[in-house]
């Protein structure tokens, strides 16, 4: 424990972390691989909460809004997609012996606990992984914003945003081979650059509460371990 810089973290994942072929659906093997990476930091003594998106099941803009669907309906469908992903990840963790609780911003009591801040903190203190589903429970807010909000509420020490790239770059590395990664950005720089890894509402919330953000590629070996030790990895966004 003495080597750890962060002892309670919130991990934000996109739905593609569980996706099958073509970036759609839930692949149980992907869920197992993801659970194994989470377990590595749990074994170091870290308390971990997770927010996962639902883009592998439902993309509100492409699947709904672009076809005339009402925004609130599309967002509620997205919330339910995140609950499905949360249950899949819970199953993968518990099959590997890790006690896990899913807590949701909208009530689906048959499958998950309603979110209560004090109960979530107690779960973490007891060594359970807590997965927050259904976003904030409100339409018009992304799962990025939900991750920032829940991180504040549970007093997480950092927010880890797992993306498809290993850092924030000055241009799209898929289109520009000479794109330059940033080791560190201030919140203001990240907001001014309109970095695509997190929406501005979530970023501003972290800035207002001085919560550091790590943008990393989770699938690189040892990424989470480096984060909790405070070692250089990905891009750190802070004051």
The rounded mean pLDDT for the chain is 93
What is the per-residue DSSP string for 35-103? HHHHHHHHTTT-EEEEEE--TTT--IIIIIGGGT--HHHHHHHHHHHHHHHHHHHHHHHHTTT--EEEE
Closest CA to 203 of 217, 187, 227, 192: 187
Cα 76 from Cα 148, distance rounded (Å): 19
**Given a cut of 70, is residue 1 above it in pLDDT?**
no
pLDDT tens digits for range 73-116: 999 999 999 999 999 999 999 999 999 999 999 999 999 999 99
- Write down the pLDDT at residue 176: 84
Q: Are 49 and 6 in contact (CB under 8 A)?
A: no
Q: How many CB atoms neighbour CB 195 within 10 A?
A: 20
**Given a cut of 80, is residue 71 above it in pLDDT?**
yes
Q: Report domain extents, the chain.
A: 8-238
Cα 167 from Cα 237, distance rounded (Å): 11
- Write down the pLDDT at residue 196: 76
pLDDT tens digits for range 204-222: 999 999 999 999 999 999 9
Class of domain 8-238: alpha beta
Using alpha carbons only, give the angle 174, 175, 179 rounded to the nearest 5 degrees. 80
- Write down the pLDDT at residue 27: 93
Q: Where residue 22 falls among pLDDT bands split at 50, 70, 90?
A: confident
Coil, strand or helix: which one is 185?
A: strand
DSSP state of 128: -
Cα→Cα distances 65→62, 73, 75, 196, Å: 6, 10, 10, 20
Which is higher by pLDDT, 87 or 59?
A: 87
- Write down the pLDDT at residue 171: 81
Distant-in-sequence, close-in-space partners of 70: CB < 8 Å, separation ≥ 6:
none
**Given a cut of 60, is residue 2 above it in pLDDT?**
no
Q: Which two tokens stand for residue 113?
A: 């606990």
pLDDT tens digits for range 163-217: 888 899 988 787 888 889 999 999 999 999 887 788 999 999 999 999 999 999 9
- Burial class from Cβ neighbours inside 10 Å (0-12, 13-18, 19+) for residue 80 reads middle
pLDDT tens digits for range 134-164: 999 999 999 999 999 999 999 999 999 998 8
**Given a cut of 60, is residue 15 above it in pLDDT?**
yes
Query: What value does the mean pLDDT take over residues 18-46?
Result: 92
- Write down the pLDDT at residue 67: 83
């Amino acid at each position: 424990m003495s080597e750890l810089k962060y002892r309670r973290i919130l991990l934000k994942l996109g739905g593609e972390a569980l996706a099958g072929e073509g970036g759609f659906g839930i692949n149980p093997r992907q869920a197992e691989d993801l659970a194994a990476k989470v377990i590595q930091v749990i074994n170091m003594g870290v308390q971990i909460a997770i927010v996962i998106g639902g883009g592998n099941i439902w993309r509100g803009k492409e699947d709904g809004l672009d076809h005339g669907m009402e925004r609130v309906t599309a967002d509620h469908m997205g919330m339910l997609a995140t609950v499905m992903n949360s249950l899949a990840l819970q199953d993968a963790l518990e099959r590997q012996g890790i006690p896990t609780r899913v807590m949701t911003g909208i009530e689906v009591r048959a499958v998950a606990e309603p979110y209560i801040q004090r109960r979530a903190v107690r779960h973490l203190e007891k060594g359970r992984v807590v997965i927050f589903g259904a976003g904030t429970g409100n339409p018009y807010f992304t799962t990025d914003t939900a991750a920032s909000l829940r991180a504040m509420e549970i007093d997480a020490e950092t927010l880890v945003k797992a993306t498809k790239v290993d850092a924030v770059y000055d241009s799209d590395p898929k289109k520009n081979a000479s794109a330059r990664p940033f080791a560190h950005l201030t919140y203001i720089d990240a907001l001014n650059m309109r970095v695509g890894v997190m929406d501005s509402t979530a970023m501003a919330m972290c800035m207002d509460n001085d919560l550091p953000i790590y943008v990393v590629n989770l699938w690189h070996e040892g990424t989470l371990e480096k984060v909790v030790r405070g070692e250089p990895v990905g891009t750190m966004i802070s004051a």
